[in-house]
């Protein structure tokens, strides 16, 4: 399956087959992707997020909540970035440039 670059939109995918798992593995997900999967359970729906630390790495699927018809959504108290802070040893290269501004006011 061919994917164009995903924008930073939220997707909700129904987890109902092995085909979906294959599609998610092939998707160009990133660390800041907003892809959510729900899975039907006997008492409600399990909500999970899917992302990749790097496009070459496998998809990470973390549970983020559970929805029950009688009581609604219960979600994790961890923030988006706290759930994704483990970069699993990935080296991130960064650079900074100090620029002096000689602005005329």
Backbone angles phi, psi at 13, to 5 degrees: -110, 140
40 Cβ neighbours under 8 A, 6+ residues apart = 16
- 34 found inside a domain: yes
Higher local confidence (pLDDT), 74 or 5: 74
How is residue 1 written in tokens?
């399956």
Establish if 100 belongs to a structural domain.
no
Average pLDDT, the chain: 83
Residue 19 in domain: yes
In this structure, the strands spanning 34-41 and 10-14 are parallel
Asked whether the beta carbons of 23 and 11 are under 8 A apart, the reply is no
Q: Is the pLDDT of residue 3 over 60?
A: no
Range of the domain at 31: 10-83
Please report the pLDDT score of residue 68 as a whole number. Answer: 94
What sign has the CA pseudo-torsion 89, 18, 36, 38? negative
Number of domains making up the chain: 1
């Amino acid at each position: 399956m061919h994917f164009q670059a995903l924008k930073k939109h939220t997707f909700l995918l129904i987890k109902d087959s092995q085909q979906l798992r294959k599609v998610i593995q092939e998707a160009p997900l990133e660390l800041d992707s907003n892809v959510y999967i729900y899975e039907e359970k006997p008492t409600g729906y399990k909500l999970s997020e899917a992302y990749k630390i790097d496009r070459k790495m496998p998809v990470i699927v973390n549970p983020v909540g559970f929805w029950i018809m009688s009581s609604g959504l219960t979600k994790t108290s961890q923030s988006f970035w706290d759930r994704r802070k483990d970069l699993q040893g990935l080296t991130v290269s960064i650079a900074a440039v100090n620029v002096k501004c000689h602005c005329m006011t």
